[in-house]
């Protein structure tokens, strides 16, 4: 199935709705050891992306670029910046595919998600195992590579990532100081990935 601007716009709208619905839960998750803003920031960023006019773009790459630009304008927060990086990576990969004369399609997603994982890991300087969104994208990458490439697989990956990482200590940001306290709790960014895909 090919992924055009409209499919991207529809997906962004879905993320936007899910972000709005999980705002307070994500704030609460972040408030435990962080500053309690993950949910509110994400709601704003997702709304900005959903209203960036992706559906009106000519190409998938342009649609993703509009969304990335909107996210970059909206926030400079950790997670928000990584969301922008993810959208920008999608745009870059879509552009490569378009340059080869075809439109991106579902089958490209495993490769794209892997590129996103690597991009956000490079951007945030966090590695797999640090208990951040990088781990969520690592699970996504591996599960989608196994297939089938579907929303259900993605949901399973995000939730399994949460379950597997929950007993681990956080190794990034201020929460690192409270490694013991972070054991048993969800990382707010990882929780956000699961909630957004829900």
Partner 1 sequence: MKKLINDPNNYVEEMLAGLVSAHASLSLGGESGRCVSRSQPAPSGQVGIATGGGSGHLPLFTGYVGEGFTDACAIGNVFEGPTAQSCIDAIRAADHGAGVLCLYGNYGGDRMNFDTAIEMAELDDIACDTVLGTDDVASAAPEEGNKRRGVAGIVLVYKAAGAAAAEGRDLAGVAAAARKANAATRSIGVALAPCQVPTADAPNFEIADNEMEFGMGIHGEPGIWRSELSSADKVADGMLERLLPELDVKRGDKLCVLVNGLGATPLEELYILWRRVGERLAQAGIEYLPPVIGNYVTSMEMAGASLSLMKLDDELEALMTAPAKCPFWSVS
Q: Contact residues for partner 1 (CB under 8 A)?
A: 27, 31, 33-37, 40-41, 72-82, 85, 123-125, 172-174, 176-178, 181
Instruction: Look at residue 178 and give the partner it binds from partner 1, Mg ion, ligand ADP, none, a contact being a CB closer than 5 to 8 Å depending on partner kind.
Output: partner 1
Report, in Å, the least distance between residue 31 CB and Mg ion: 9
* 133-172 binders of ligand ADP (CB under 6 A): 133-134, 172
Shorter beta-carbon distance to partner 1: residue 63 or 79: 79
Report, in Å, the least distance between residue 58 CB and partner 1: 24
Rounded Cα distance, 98 and 92, in Å: 10
Instruction: Look at residue 27 and give the partner it binds from Mg ion, partner 1, ligand ADP, none, a contact being a CB closer than 5 to 8 Å depending on partner kind.
Output: partner 1
Scanning the structure block, which residue is given the tokens 């992924």? 3
If binding is defined by CB under 5 A, does position 30 make contact with Mg ion?
A: yes
- Which sign does the torsion angle of CA 183, 46, 86, 110 carry? positive
DSSP, residue by residue, the chain: -B--HHHHHHHHHHHHHHHHHTHHHHHHHHHHHS-S-HHHHHHHHHHHHHTS-GGG-SSHHHHHHHHHHHHHHH--SHHHHHHHHHHHHHHHHHHHHHHTTS--BGGGHHHHHHHHHHHHHHHHT--TTSSSHHHHHHHHHHHHHHS--SHHHHHHHHHHHHHHHTTSPP-SSGGGGGHHHHTTS--HHHHHHHHHH-
If binding is defined by CB under 6 A, does position 18 make contact with ligand ADP?
A: no
Instruction: Look at residue 189 and give the partner it binds from partner 1, ligand ADP, Mg ion, none, a contact being a CB closer than 5 to 8 Å depending on partner kind.
Output: ligand ADP
Shorter beta-carbon distance to ligand ADP: residue 123 or 156: 123
If binding is defined by CB under 5 A, does position 35 make contact with Mg ion?
A: yes
Pick the binder of Mg ion from 34, 39, 80, 124 (CB under 5 A).
34
If binding is defined by CB under 6 A, does position 41 make contact with ligand ADP?
A: yes
Rounded Cα distance, 116 and 102, in Å: 21
If binding is defined by CB under 6 A, does position 126 make contact with ligand ADP?
A: yes
Instruction: Provide the binding-site residues for ligand ADP, judged by CB under 6 A.
Output: 30, 34-35, 37-38, 41, 77-80, 82, 124-126, 132-134, 172-173, 187-190
């Amino acid at each position: 199935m090919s992924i055009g601007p409209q499919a991207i716009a529809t997906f962004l709208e879905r993320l936007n709705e899910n972000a709005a619905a999980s705002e307070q839960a994500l704030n609460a998750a972040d408030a435990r050891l962080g500053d309690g803003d993950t949910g509110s920031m994400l709601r704003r960023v997702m709304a900005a992306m959903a209203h960036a006019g992706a559906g009106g773009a000519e190409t998938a790459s342009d649609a993703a670029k509009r969304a990335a630009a909107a996210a970059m304008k909206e926030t400079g927060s950790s997670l928000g910046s990584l969301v922008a990086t993810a959208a920008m990576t999608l745009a870059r990969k879509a552009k490569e595919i378009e340059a080869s004369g075809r439109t991106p399609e579902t089958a490209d997603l495993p490769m794209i998600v892997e590129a996103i994982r690597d991009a956000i890991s490079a951007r945030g300087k966090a590695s797999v195992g640090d208990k951040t969104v990088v781990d969520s994208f690592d699970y996504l990458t591996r599960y989608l590579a196994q297939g089938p490439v579907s929303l259900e697989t993605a949901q399973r990956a995000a939730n399994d990532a949460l379950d597997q990482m929950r007993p681990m200590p956080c190794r990034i940001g201020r929460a690192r100081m409270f490694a013991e306290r972070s054991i048993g709790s969800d990382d707010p960014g990882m929780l956000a990935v699961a909630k957004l895909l829900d």
